[in-house]
Structure 1
Amino acid sequence: MRLQNGSSETSLKEVKEFSEWILSVGDGNAGGPNEGEAEIKVSNDILIEGKSDPIATIVESTYPLLKDHLWEPKYFQEMAILAPTYEIVEMVNDYVLSHLPGEEKLYLSSDAISNVEGNLVASEIYSTKFLNIIRCSGLPNHHLRLKVGAPVMLLRNIDQTSGLCNGTRLVIKHLGNRVIEAVVISGSNVGDKVFIPRMTLTPSDATRFPIKFQRR
C-alpha cells in the first residue's frame, strides 16, 4: 500500500528503496547472510509504538474507530493487516470480533474423507475429530465465528461475474443457518448485496496432505 500511495511526499528513490527492503525481508536476505535467523533494522517511520497488548495496538492503529466505519467500503479498501502465521491471523480476528457489537454466531463444518480412489484406507485411519483440527490455506476453520458487521474476505472464487472472487472483501449483514448475506466492499461490485451459501471445499494446496478430504 505504501508503494501504491507514492506521491509528491514520497520520492521515487524512497519508494524504490522501500520496495527493495521489503523484498529482501521476504527473501530472507535482510540482515546479511543467515541460516534462518537475523536481526533486521526497521525504520522508525513504519514502527508502531509498543504497548502491553500488541494485537490491540496494531488493530487500533490500522482501523481507528472501527465500529463507526463498518459500512464504509473505502475504509477497508485503503487498509489491511498482514500476518505471518495462521495463529496471528486468528488472534487479530478474535480481537476484532470481540469488540464488535451484537451477538456472535458459531458455524461448525462437516468434514469427511473424500470418496475417491485410493482414499478408502484413509477413511479408516483418520477420525472426524482429526479432520476438524486441520487448518490450511483456502479453507475456513472447523469453528467459524461471525457477527453482523464483521469484515470478511473470500478464500475462493465463487461467482466472478458478481465479483465474488478470492480476496474479495465483504461485510456481514445477516447470518442465517445455511446462508450468509453480505455487502461487497471491494472490487468493481462495491455496494452489491450477495448471498454466500453452504458449500463443500477441498484444500487448495492438496499436495501438502497425505489424504484427500473435504470440508462443508
Structure 2
Amino acid sequence: MATYSMSNLFGLSRFKHKAAHKDTTTAADFSHLSARADDSGHYTTEPAQEPATDLITEQDEQPAALKKHSRGHNVAVSEEAQNSPVLAVKLLRETDLSSKKIKARLQDEPEALSKFTSKYMEEHDPSWEFLDDEEKAFKAMTFAVNNGDANGYNQARHHAVNALKKMEEPMTEAEIQAMIEKTRQAMNESDPNTPDNITARKKADKEYQDVVAKAGEKLKATYAKTGITQPNYSNR
C-alpha cells in the first residue's frame, strides 16, 4: 500500500526537483534577478516557470503496493509474538524458519530471556543453573515483580516489542480491499439509504415487475387457448 507524508498530501513534494535546476557553484548568485523578456515582449525579473514535467514527479515515484507480507511482519503482528517477544525477535534474527514455524515454536516453547536478564539471574540466584527454561522464565518474572525489575526482565520485553513493531508493514492491496468491503457492509447494515441498499431495492422492484408481467402474459395466453377472453381484473 502506498504511504504518503504530510508533504505528499499537500503537494509539496512536487517542488523537490526545483533545486536541481539552480546553479549552486557561487555562494551569492543574483542572476535570477536580471531582466528578461517574457512571451509578450515585456521585461520582467520573475524567474522562468518550471516546465510541467519537472513538477510531475510524485506519480512515478510512488512505492508499489505490497503483494504479500514478509515473515517478520507475519510474526510481529501475531498473538504468539506478543506473548513471547524476546523469543520472537531471537528466532527471527537467528534462524531462517518460516513465520508459521516460528509461531508454532512461540506457542510451544517457554518464554526466552534476554542475555542481560539471564546473566543477572545467574549471578544473583544460586539455583539458576539447576532450573529448566520454563522455571527460569517464571522465576525471572517473579524476581522482576518483587525487585523493581532489577534483572531487566520487563525492560527486555518492552524493547523486544518495539523491535517487533518496527517489522510491521503497511496493508497489502488485498487487505485494503477487504477493509473497504467490511466498511461497506457495516454501512449497509446500519443505513437503509446507502447507494448499495437503494440499488438493491430498485433491482428487486424491477425483478418483481418483470415476474408480474411474465405471469400476466402467460395467463393471457392460457385464456386465449381455451377460447375465453381473459377477465379485466383492473376494473373490479
Smaller-chain TM-score bracket: under 0.3
1 or 2, which has the higher helix percentage?
2
- TM (normalized to structure 1)? 0.20
- TM (normalized to structure 2)? 0.18
Larger radius of gyration: 2
Q: Which has the higher contact order (CA 8 A, sep 6+)?
A: 2
